[in-house]
Amino acid sequence: MSEVHQMEGETFESMLRRFNKRVQQDGVLSEARRRAHFEPPSVTRKKKEAAKRRKSRKNS
């Protein structure tokens, strides 16, 4: 769970920006999207292998 405490004299908008940045860095939203629907292990494996192929083609 990401937490942000309000600093002395800080506006709500700047605190909200810091919170959004922290959530992005922690990967909370991407994790929630990934867990939204169940994927069998075989599909997960295939996606990982495809990502490796794309990355190796990009680096070459």
Report domain extents, the chain.
12-59
Q: What is the pTM of this model?
A: 0.57
Mean predicted lDDT score pLDDT of the chain: 92
What DSSP character marks residue 27?
A: T
User: What percent of the chain is predicted at pLDDT more than 70?
Assistant: 98
**Residue-level pLDDT at 50:** 95
Query: Looking at residues 52-59, what average pLDDT do you find?
Result: 89
Confidence of residue 26 (pLDDT cuts 50, 70, 90): very high
Q: Give the separation between CA 40 and CA 35, rounded to whole angstroms.
A: 12
Confidence of residue 21 (pLDDT cuts 50, 70, 90): very high
For residue 30, the SS3 value is helix
58: enclosing H helix or E strand: helix 41-59
